[in-house]
Structure 1
Amino acid sequence: MATERTVLIVDDEPRTREGVRKTLEAEWSGELQVLTAASAAEAMAIMERQQVHLLITDIRMPEITGLSMVEEQRSRGYRPVVIVISGHAVFDYAEHAIRLGVVQYLLKPLEKRKLVEAVKQALELERSRERQSTMEKVVDRRLLELDGEDARVSEAVQKAKRYVEDHLGTSLGMREVSEHVHLNASYFSFLFKEQTGLTFSEYVTRRKLQKAKELLLATPLSVQDISEQVGYGNGKYFIKVFKEYAGMSPSQFRKMGADSKNR
């Protein structure tokens, strides 16, 4: 594992907490950052401050149970992979854990072999989820859907889409494209929106940004060079539009892609 992952162990029993920590540090020396918390409240404070990739928590703890903590974190948008541990094989607990998406349910006293295997599986699942999340950010699903619907749109719209693809490096305007497909600009605008669900300008923006994403991940070109290659002469405006659509800057997107390749 090239990139350090963070594991948080939550248990009010010091012996269990430290035992799990020592096992993980011995098995993944230098590859995992292992944190511990003696209560759910302490654990939630840690998760507010930094990203936790894997949460290993006892179920029965004073004040807030492990499962209540997981539920609360999910409601806040924090979704680490979760392993729960318990001294009791209670069906209601197991059923609740499954509903929350917990990946493993281990019984105390913990066997080192089972713990290590559970953590290996959980970390692989976490990496898989992250790769999937990265791909979802790279690929514009709406454009993919549209590409698969060409048989259901008119020849004029298909021709317009091909023209856009061939001229991404220019400042495409609707009048230019409508003339290319021999349609009145107003009618072309109506037809394009009706058949694709996107305005022409939104479609062009999405196509340009999709191309920019590919260049950011596949080339060492500067952000300014990429902005020019996709028809944005003004680099600052390109960055602004990219942030609006991707939720991050071009540089952050490039770093995210590089980090994903290293995992």
Structure 2
Amino acid sequence: MLKVVIADLEPIQRKCIKALLQERYRRQVVVLETDNGQEACEYVEKDNIDLVIMDHRLTGMNGLTSAVEMRRHNPLQKLMVFTMEEDPQLKKSFNKLGVKQYIKKPSRPRILIDLISKGLSETPQLPARKVTLKISEIVQFIEGNLNRDLTLTYVAEKMNLSSYYLSKMFKKELGVNFVKYVTDRKMEKAKELLKNFDVPIINIAFAIGYAEPSYFTKVFKRVENMTPSQYRNQFYR
């Protein structure tokens, strides 16, 4: 499901862009509207937004200030500007923030929706050093939160990334998909805990983020080819 924020002073303009998106993507898009720059930033902070389409002219906080705030919160947030502002310096400032699409109003609907679709399809990129640091941050977060239900969506939200980008980056950098990595780490932690015979298996399940002990047993058996009890019994011999 795509999530798009439209930040524009003109209600008609917002409705027009929303209609174009719904015609192109049908039920596969959720569109949030606002005329306020601060509110647009809050949408980005609270949810994984695939694209922000903004005018520079907004209430509360102008487009450029809003874009700076969004980039501070999420360096990979995809942004496009759709405005009547002709100031070359303003365009340059947006470009420095990594905004590739600075589109002048008015624009033909077909051209506009094609540009929006292009913006949605592009994968944002971090410099190599930042990718390494981000992967390190993600791995540390996983290690420190093995007691939680570490879904891709949950971790992506905590890392201010889209689920798609996190999954792709994780696989490329570590050579293993996200779900398998998390499961393997949980099972390694479980094996450590199983060596302590005083800890009930149900408690171990809870300790590594499984609300259902039976599901923990199922996953453990799939990964280790034996049940947690069978693994533990090896140490009695």
Give TM class, smaller chain: 0.5 to 0.7
Counterpart residue identity of residue 34, structure 1: V
State how 1:169-208 maps to structure 2 within 5 Å.
Answer: none
**Gaps in structure 2 of 5+ consecutive residues:** 126-161, 195-203, 210-218, 220-237
Say whether residues 1:134 and 2:94 are aligned partners. Answer: no
Question: Percent identity, aligned pairs only?
Answer: 20
**Gaps in structure 1 of 5+ consecutive residues:** 145-209, 241-249, 251-263
Cα offset, 1:41, TM superposition: 1.9
Distance in 1 between residues matched to 2:106 and 2:36, nearest whole Å: 19
Say whether residues 1:227 and 2:187 are aligned partners. Answer: yes
1:66 corresponds, among 49, 63, 66, to: 63
Cα offset, 1:76, TM superposition: 2.3
Secondary structure in structure 1 of the residue aligned to 2:9? coil
Counterpart residue identity of residue 120, structure 1: S
State which structure, 1 or 2, has the greater radius of gyration over its C-alpha atoms: 1
The question of whether the paired residues in 2 share the 8 Å contact of 1:227 and 1:233 is answered with no
1:120-170 superposed Cα distances (whole Å, 9 cap, x missing partner): 1111114888655324324665xx8xxxxxxxxxxxxxxxxxxxxxxxxxx
Structure 1's 50 and 140: CA in aligned 2 closer, same or farther, altered over 3 A? closer
1:32-67 superposed Cα distances (whole Å, 9 cap, x missing partner): 111111111222232333221100000122341112
The question of whether the paired residues in 1 share the 8 Å contact of 2:7 and 2:37 is answered with yes
Distance in 2 between residues matched to 1:109 and 1:10, nearest whole Å: 16
Paired position in structure 2 for 1:54: 51
Cα offset, 1:233, TM superposition: 6.7
The question of whether the paired residues in 1 share the 8 Å contact of 2:6 and 2:54 is answered with yes
1:97 corresponds, among 90, 94, 99, to: 94
The question of whether the paired residues in 1 share the 8 Å contact of 2:45 and 2:73 is answered with no
Cα offset, 1:103, TM superposition: 2.6
Structure 1's 126 and 33: CA in aligned 2 closer, same or farther, altered over 3 A? farther
Structure 1's 20 and 136: CA in aligned 2 closer, same or farther, altered over 3 A? closer
The question of whether the paired residues in 1 share the 8 Å contact of 2:7 and 2:36 is answered with yes
State how 1:1-263 maps to structure 2 within 5 Å.
Answer: 4-77=1-74, 79-126=76-123, 131-138=164-171, 216-217=179-180, 223=183, 227=187, 234=194, 239=208
Distance in 2 between residues matched to 1:58 and 1:105, nearest whole Å: 10
Distance in 2 between residues matched to 1:94 and 1:26, nearest whole Å: 29
The question of whether the paired residues in 2 share the 8 Å contact of 1:40 and 1:64 is answered with yes
Runs of 4+ in 1 over 3 A off after TM superposition: 126-133, 138-141, 223-226, 230-240
Distance in 2 between residues matched to 1:224 and 1:134, nearest whole Å: 16
TM-score by length of 2: 0.57
Secondary structure in structure 2 of the residue aligned to 1:27? helix
Aligned residue pairs total 165
Distance in 2 between residues matched to 1:87 and 1:140, nearest whole Å: 41
Counterpart residue identity of residue 20, structure 2: T
Distance in 1 between residues matched to 2:51 and 2:90, nearest whole Å: 20
Structure 1's 226 and 14: CA in aligned 2 closer, same or farther, altered over 3 A? closer
Distance in 2 between residues matched to 1:23 and 1:54, nearest whole Å: 14
